Amino acid sequence: MSASSPPEPSPTTNRVIRKVAILFAGGPAPAANAVISTAAASFLRNGIEVVGILHGYSHLVEFGPDHPMQEGRDVLTITNRTLRRTRNSRGILIGTARTNPGKSVNSPADLADPVKTAPLKTIHDALSSLNVDALVSIGGDDTLKTANKFQKFQRYLPADARRIAVVHVPKTIDNDYSGIDFTFGYFTAVDTLAREILNLLADAEATRCYYLVETMGRSAGWLAYGAAIAGEASLVLSVEDIVGKYRAEETYEDPKTGETKTRPVMNINEVIKWVVAAMRTRDRDGKPFGVIVLAEGLAELLPSEMLKGIPRDDHGHISISQVNLGKTFAKLVANEYRSQTGKDRKVNGLQLGYEARCAQPHAFDVMLGSQLGVGAYRALVERGLDGVMVSVSGQLDLTYVDFDKLVDPETLVTKVRFIEKDSDFQKLARFLETQVQY
């Protein structure tokens, strides 16, 4: 089809797609522009208009008589000129934000509640005002939740209302997505952090100290493990490791219901002893230095006393940057090491992660992101799909996963993909790190 040919009805829904909106939400990731630019180019090449929604849902939720969608402030009309040499570029062409229009919708029944779905209705009205026929959502698990809610919310609209098809492209340097093996940007992020860890390892050896490095990875340890393996870290700890004697429970009062509930927490004393055991093993091996990698998601498992005053975002996550897990653990580790050995060892805590989110993307991430972007076009136009996530398998072969397979039908919460216990990937990290001798 030439660029001047009129768009054809999609084959399974008989829906004519004349205009598509592309939206990016959540934290940045390398190769974001590979996804955006290849998706946009695919639509433009086939006579379909493309608009980029600026800064996630933050402007869409403000739509109304006093805030119509405005070019340059709220949306960006994407043309072939816009896309010149953007596939390998850093950053995000259309910006991002963490605004959550579906935060009041927590069950299928809520989708029929006009009060709880009011922000989703505003999103629909805003996109309809732009004459959008389909939405390409790019983002992490929280953005997938929103895409699913928005797609299902439309079932409750009047019969004559516009129906906007929704496809989602998975994005996270955390790589904890169900339905896809590796997310775009993951390998670039791993490499960026690994290089930093190698620098710190050289510093640690020169000064005979330790660095406790907190990396991103809110729910699972893929990024921490990958960076530790590639960066030759001495030890890596993530949420998947908090089992057995390293896990405890605490009771708390639910602020919404007043009910007494329990939640899993770290047995901090045992975790600290694990780290110190690794340090003492290295001492015996003549290596009084090292780098310990901690996944930031461990902060969610801290006892409530240590999380007092820490704010939460629109998706209910604590502000991990304000916890400063690395520095908190560094003090505890240094004290325990002194208690066990009678000696002092300098332990420095620091956070890594933001450096990796907009790093120059590696070739593999550009290829993966490009294929996922093209996949959004193929899903909507060639396959006529709605309510699917674009994925790949094998040698970047495109596949499409229904939202219903990725989201819990009762809670509408996405299913996180953790590192499996005793998987070969976990065994690799454990094999390469310091063999702890208790």
pLDDT per residue rounded down to tens, the chain (438 residues): 344 444 444 444 567 899 999 999 999 999 999 999 999 999 999 999 999 999 999 999 999 999 999 999 999 999 999 999 999 999 999 999 999 999 999 999 999 999 999 999 999 999 999 999 999 999 999 999 999 999 999 999 999 999 999 999 999 999 999 999 999 999 999 999 999 999 999 999 999 999 999 998 878 999 999 999 999 999 999 999 999 999 999 888 777 788 888 889 999 999 999 999 999 999 999 999 999 999 998 988 888 777 776 667 665 666 666 677 888 899 999 999 999 999 999 999 999 988 999 999 999 999 999 999 999 999 999 999 999 999 999 999 999 999 999 999 999 999 899 999 999 999 999 999 988 865
Burial class (CB in 10 A: 0-12, 13-18, 19+), 393: exposed
Per-residue DSSP letters for 275-322?
A: HHHHHHHHHHTT---EEEEEEGGGGGGS-GGGGTT--B-TTS-B-HHH
Distance CA 166, CA 389 (A): 9
Q: Same topology for domains 19-182+361-405 and 186-358+419-432, yes or no?
A: yes
User: Distance of CA 30 to CAs 274, 296, 364, Å?
Assistant: 34, 19, 11
In the chain, where are the structural domains located? 19-182+361-405, 186-358+419-432
Q: What is the pLDDT of residue 325?
A: 85
Residues 6+ apart with CB under 8 A from 201: 211, 231, 232, 233, 289, 290, 291
Distance CA 234, CA 248 (A): 25
Taking a C-beta distance cutoff of 8 angstroms, is the pair 204, 172 a contact?
A: no
Angle in degrees, CA 146, 148, 154, rounded to 5 = 100
Q: What is the pLDDT of residue 316?
A: 64
Q: CB atoms < 10 A from the CB of 405, how many?
A: 11
Residue 379 DSSP label: I
For domain 19-182+361-405, give the CATH number. 3.40.50.450
Q: What is the pLDDT of residue 353?
A: 83
Taking a C-beta distance cutoff of 8 angstroms, is the pair 399, 393 a contact?
A: yes
Distance CA 233, CA 223 (A): 13
186-358+419-432 sits in which CATH class?
alpha beta
